[in-house]
Structure 1
Amino acid sequence: MIDKLEFFIALAREGHFGRAAEECGIAQPSLSAAIRHLEDSLGVQLVVRGSRYQGLTPEGQRVLEWAKRIVGDARTMREEMRAARKGLAGHIRLAVIPTALAMVPSLTGPFQTRYPDVTFSVVSRTSLQILTQLDNFEIDAGITYLDNEPLGRVVSIPLYSESYNLVTADGTPLSDRKQVTWTEMAGLQLCLLTPDMQNRRIISQHLAEAGVTARPMLESNSMVTLLAHVGTGRWASIMPQNVAESFGFSQNIRTIPIVEPHVSHTVGLVAPHREPNTPLVSALLHEARLLGKS
C-alpha cells in the first residue's frame, strides 16, 4: 500500500502520468495499474478520467492528504530504525531563498562536524517553492522568511534578522553617505531580484510605503548576478546587510544602511510539522536552535 500511495503523491505533484512514472522509476502502465488498484482498495475514484490527466476528484484530494501523512510517517519510521542500527547518517535536501545562501555554511558546517556521515544538497528556491516542495516531500527542510507571508503548517526556527542596505559602487550617487532613506532610492538605476522572490516583494513594499515605485532596470533570480552588475558602477541594488561581503566581491562595492524607517524581517529554518520528525530533520532543527541562539 505504501508504494501505491507514493505513486499517487507523485502523480498529484507532476500532474502527468508519464512524468510521474518516470520519477517513480516504473513504466506508465504500471503506474496506472497501481492507481486503479488503490482506487479499488479504497472504493472511490481518485483521478478524473479522460484522455490525459485532468486532476483529482474531491475524494482524491482527501486521500492525498492522508497519503502524505502516511508516507511521511512510514519514512520517519524507516529512518529512525536505520539510525538506531547505524547511527545518524543519510542525506538532507535543503532549499534556501537566494538572500540566505551565504549563511548556510553556518548551519551545515557545525552539523556535519557533529554528524560526519550526513551529506547535504542545497538548492536556491523562492519562498513559495520551498513550502510547496516541503509539502510534496521533495525537500527535507528550507530556509526562508518567517514573518512576512503565511507559512502554513510547518515548524519554524528563527535564525537571524535581515535588514536592508543600498549596495553600490564607489563614485556613484549616494556612495559617500553613511546612511540613506528609502525615499532616496527613487533616483537610482536599480537591479533587483525577480518579482517571484519574497525579498523583492518585501523591498517593493517598503519602497511603496516611502512613495517610490520599484522600476528596476535589471532583474535576476541570482544574488551573484546582481552583485556583478553593481560592480560595474551602472546599477545599484537593495540587499540584506552583509550579502556583498559574504559573497566576497571587490572592495569598491559599498553597503549603506537604509533608514527612515529601519526595517528587518526574520529568516529561519522551516520543516514539516510532524511528530515525530525524521531523525535527520530532528537533528537539523536542534542545530538550527543552537545557531539561532548564538
Structure 2
Amino acid sequence: MAREQNFGRAAEVCHVTQPSFSAAIRALEEKMGVPLVIRRSRFQGFTPEGERVLEWARRITGDVHAMRDDVNSLKRGLNGLLRIAAIPTALATIAELTTPYRARHPLVRFSVLSCTSAEVLQRLHNQEIEAGITYLDNEPIGKARCIPLYEERYMLLTSAQAPLGERARVTWAEIGKIPLCLLTPDMQNRRIINRLLNNAGQIVEPTLESNSIVVLVSHVQTGRWACVMPEKLAEVFGLTAKLRAIPIVEPEEVRKVGLVVLDRDPLSPLTAALIAEATRLRR
C-alpha cells in the first residue's frame, strides 16, 4: 500500500481482490486497536500509528529475508538476488563491484537500477533494494552504513575543435558561457553543477537535458556538444581517446561517492559480501 498509494493497485500486486485487501487491512486495524489508513474517497496516506506499523513491518520483512538468505547460504553458499540502485554517474563503475563479487559467489544474481540520489535512499529505507551507490557528502543520507568507493572530480568533455577545446584547464565561469548538455535538475549531479556555475556568476541554461548518461555521451561524441562529466565516467566509457577531457578548476570540486546499506545487525549474507567487496575495491 505504501508503494502503490492506491487500494486497487496494491490489491493487484498482492494477487487478491480489492475487497479482500481492504478487509485484511481492517482486520489488522482491529487487531492493533487503532486506525492505520486515512480513508476518504481515495487513499490519503497513513495515520501516525500506521506509519509506525509500516516501519516495523519493513524491518520485520527485511529480517525474515535476511534470515532465509543466511540459512540458505549455509547449505549452498551465497545465492539469490542482490538488488542495487545507483545514481547515473556511478552506473559505469558498478561492474568493478559485481564482477569480482560473482567470481567469488557464482550463484548470486544482480538487479541494477538507475535512480536519482533521493530515489536510491527511498528504495533503500523502504527495503526495495539491498544497497545503493550515491553521493556521501552532499545531501543527508539518513541511518545507513557508508563505504566510500571513489572521489568524483569534474571534467569538461568536448571536441578539440570546439570552444575551450584547446585548453589545458578551464574554470566554471568559462564553461558557463558555452552550450552544454547536462543531466536533468532532479539529479544531484546537476544540482552540484548548478551550484558551482551559479557561484561563478553563470546562469545555467543547457541546450539539452536528459536523465540518461547514454544520451549525453552520444551527443558529446558527435563533437558538437560539450558536457560536464565526472572524470571516472569519462575514463570508463573510453571517451578520452576520442574527445578532450579538460579539468575544471576555480574551484576544483571533489565529491565522495560510495556504497550505502541499511544500518542493521546482523547484515544479510548478500549485503555483507557486497560490503567486503567494496572494502577491497577501496584499497
| 1:45 corresponding residue in structure 2 | 35
| 2:228 corresponding residue in structure 1 | 238
Given the alignment, which residue of 124, 135, 138 partners 2:128?
138
What secondary structure is seen at the aligned counterpart in 1 of 2:46? coil
1:124 aligns with 2:125: no
The one-letter code sitting in structure 2 at the alignment partner of 1:159 is L
The one-letter code sitting in structure 1 at the alignment partner of 2:270 is L
Deviation, 1:278, is: 1.1
Decide which moves more: 32-41 or 215-224. Answer: 32-41
Structure 1 runs (4+) greater than 6 angstroms displaced: none
Distance 1:175 1:149 in 2: 33
The one-letter code sitting in structure 2 at the alignment partner of 1:278 is S
Given the alignment, which residue of 51, 60, 77 partners 1:87?
77
The one-letter code sitting in structure 1 at the alignment partner of 2:59 is R
Distance 1:182 1:79 in 2: 48
Aligned residues: 283
| 1:4 corresponding residue in structure 2 | none
Distance 2:218 2:230 in 1: 16
The one-letter code sitting in structure 2 at the alignment partner of 1:234 is R
Deviation per CA, 1:235-275, whole angstroms, max 9, x where unpaired?
21101004233224484311100112111100001111111
Contact 1:168 1:236 in 2 (8 A): yes
Contact 1:166 1:258 in 2 (8 A): yes
Distance 2:108 2:207 in 1: 42
TM-score (norm 2): 0.96
Contact 1:18 1:28 in 2 (8 A): yes
The one-letter code sitting in structure 1 at the alignment partner of 2:281 is L
Deviation, 1:51, is: 2.7
Contact 1:47 1:57 in 2 (8 A): yes
Given the alignment, which residue of 169, 179, 186 partners 1:189?
179
The one-letter code sitting in structure 1 at the alignment partner of 2:82 is I
The one-letter code sitting in structure 1 at the alignment partner of 2:274 is L
The one-letter code sitting in structure 2 at the alignment partner of 1:221 is N
Contact 1:95 1:130 in 2 (8 A): yes
1:75-224 pair list within 5 angstroms? 75-224=65-214
Deviation, 1:198, is: 0.4
Contact 1:242 1:255 in 2 (8 A): no
Distance 1:242 1:25 in 2: 44
- Cα 1:263–1:66 shift into 2, 3 Å: same
The one-letter code sitting in structure 1 at the alignment partner of 2:165 is S
What secondary structure is seen at the aligned counterpart in 1 of 2:247? strand
Which consecutive residues of structure 1, in runs of 5 or more, have no partner in the other structure?
A: 1-10
Decide which moves more: 282-291 or 69-78. Answer: 69-78
Deviation, 1:85, is: 2.2
Distance 2:244 2:209 in 1: 20
Distance 2:192 2:88 in 1: 14
1:1-12 pair list within 5 angstroms? 11-12=1-2
Distance 1:148 1:220 in 2: 21
Q: Percent same amino acid among aligned pairs?
A: 55
| 1:7 corresponding residue in structure 2 | none
Deviation, 1:220, is: 0.4
| 2:252 corresponding residue in structure 1 | 262
Contact 1:192 1:219 in 2 (8 A): yes
Contact 2:177 2:202 in 1 (8 A): no
Given the alignment, which residue of 251, 259, 263 partners 1:273?
263
Deviation, 1:280, is: 0.6
Deviation, 1:170, is: 2.3
Distance 2:12 2:126 in 1: 16
TM-score (norm 1): 0.92
Deviation, 1:125, is: 0.6
Distance 1:12 1:154 in 2: 21
Distance 2:52 2:96 in 1: 39
Distance 2:241 2:73 in 1: 47
- Cα 1:284–1:250 shift into 2, 3 Å: closer
Deviation, 1:92, is: 0.6
What secondary structure is seen at the aligned counterpart in 1 of 2:228? strand
Distance 1:162 1:237 in 2: 15
Contact 2:144 2:261 in 1 (8 A): yes
Which consecutive residues of structure 2, in runs of 5 or more, have no partner in the other structure?
A: none
Distance 2:264 2:235 in 1: 37
Distance 1:219 1:23 in 2: 34
